[in-house]
A and B are shown apart, each in its own frame.
Chain A
Amino acid sequence: MSWRRLRTLIRREVRATLRDPFTATILVVVPLGALLVFGFVLSTSVKHLSLAVLDANGTAASRRLVAELAATGTFDPRPVSTRAELQRALVSGRASVAIVVPPDFDRALRRGAAGGGRPPEIQVLYDGGEAVLAGNAEGFLRAQLAHTGATLATTDLSRRPVPGQAGVDVVTRALFNPTLDGTRFMVSGTFGFVLSFLTTLITAVSIVNERLAGTFEQLQVTPATSLEIFLGKILPLGAVFALDVLLMALVAGFALGVWPQGNLLFFLVVSTFYVLVSLALGLLFSATSSTAAEAVQKTVVFSIPLVQLSGFAFPIRNMPAFFRWLTELFPATHYIRLSRAIYLRAEGPTALLPEIGFLVLFGAVLIVLALRSLETRA
């Protein structure tokens, strides 16, 4: 291994990467685009959901109930007059939730508040077709109905607390992210997404292109060893992606207001190491492909499930046992866990040692495999 040869190879790689304006653009635009897209899409707060209201009561009390539901901006009520119309609204997706206020709503409310008789029963219908939306809307709507009901019952009649207001008060506080803001969650995961996907793609394509142009064979007949070729390929790209991580962290901070809670330097070190692991994976993909298109297709077919199962968007604990076990074998899973721990929960190196250890182990295996694949091609 000679430093002079390695330096030459690195200089060559940097020039080749930067000379192609398309690659340079991709390296900047894709990470930032992913950051903004993912940063904006996820929010846990339900806003302006269209709510079909079938008000069979039509009194001041029922109108008050609907007005209260609309007041917080969570629901946009749209009156319907028949059951059939309500059904059509749900089928066509014009309404995501529907409530049916019974004809005796105000009387039942008064009776119930006075302590006699059953309280009024409101029927709530969710569009289960939008499963995620319905799951989140459920909590909001129930909480609001309970709250509004309590105010209606007390203000309509007397000031004394509603009898039979059973139940336990829950004082809730969310740590690390008090507003349960989705942006932080997605931003910290986006690093994992970009570094798993873009790195693999870029290496795969760059090696296959060299092979097509014949420059790879030329490299192999020079005195450079396959370790030098490997490092000459991986180190400059690794440096570029390390810069990408820094750029993403800055844009996330300035544009989205998400700064890392933990140590940025520690995060950069962990990310850089993960980049190397990912690049080695890209090298493996390219070793088994004959055209750039094939390499990319292979990367996409393998990377999509890898990223999906890594907990980037869907929590791992929700998966069945087999997939929970399987996903522990992917380096992306461990990197995303690390980036969330550092970015959101300000975790330090000692507590994360097992995760880092796994990443190192996996990286070592991949790098050895990638080196082997370079040698067998020679």
Chain B
Amino acid sequence: MSAVEAVGLQKRFGDTQALCGVDFEIPRATVLGVLGPNGAGKTTAVRILTTLLKPDAGRAIIDGIDVVAEPRKVRSRIGLTGQYAAVDERLTGYENLELVGRLFHLPTKEAKSRAKDLLERFDLVDAGDKYAKNYSGGMRRRLDIAMSLIARPSVLFLDEPTTGLDPHSRNAMWELIEGLVADGMTTLLTTQYLEEAEVLANDIVVIDHGTVIEHGTPAELKARSGGERIEITVGESAELEKVPGVLSHLVRDGAQPWIDVETLTVCLPVADSVGIVPASVRALDDAGVVVRDVVVRKPTLDDVFLDLTGHTASEESDTDDGSDGTDDSKDRKHRKDRTDRGDAANEPVSAGKELS
């Protein structure tokens, strides 16, 4: 029996169908990465599974218990860390942990001793007696996750656990989550960061506009998106448009080039990477295009996302309350020209951690 089963989940908010029949399951002691842009419906799915929201249709089962029929039974088996670090700022770290332990109806002694253990495990001992309002963002998230673990849940829900963290805290958070997973914690992790799902998840479902558009292991998803890519960086933006034409004989059939005007880079899925670098440089040189850099790389999940949805994961910026879904422009230009890409993990060209 899977630890978590979602069957045909549907939810509508006003005019917006936030979930249009979402199915997935999470085998025990595995991590499911739910991947999608803002507004895809990830949080809505998490809120249904954690009893915060009732589905319009479909069933959600945790440990064999229906979340709608027996919400309180389900609540005693889950830990939820939402998008906000939900700590009481007026209390200390220790008090926050103890509070949640008490509200889980642990015996007082047990709540206290587990609170102390968790402070130690999450590197918060020194901060344990400080008010949470003085914590850094990373410390808050750690405290938040520790609070979710105090009753030793059988399923942990992490809704975008690294959103808003600096790269250093994000790496630390990944380490922490990897540790939980190594100990056999069944986890549902939502994320907008493809790299994060690649690193942490056993299985991935890709959600867009309330629908599961792809499902598989990170390796399967990458295999499905085809072979390697070549990335050409040129000298001037005027030359960007020329590149796909010049190199059309090298591009995999039916594949779309992707032009990033900001970094002056063209990304082309190629049929065969052997000898591709000299061949492309030669062709571009003949055509009078100044080449500044050439990189051959394996596909990342961002490429998968682009193939599936026509936009990258970072290209939609609606709030993730399901309010999106009405204006899918179906922009198939494969052109990434937004300027607000402040985040390394959103970069399609970032090498990321390759899965072994």
Q: Is B one of A's binding partners?
A: no
Contacts from B to A (Cβ < 8 Å)? none
Residues in chain A within 8 A of chain B (CB atoms):
none
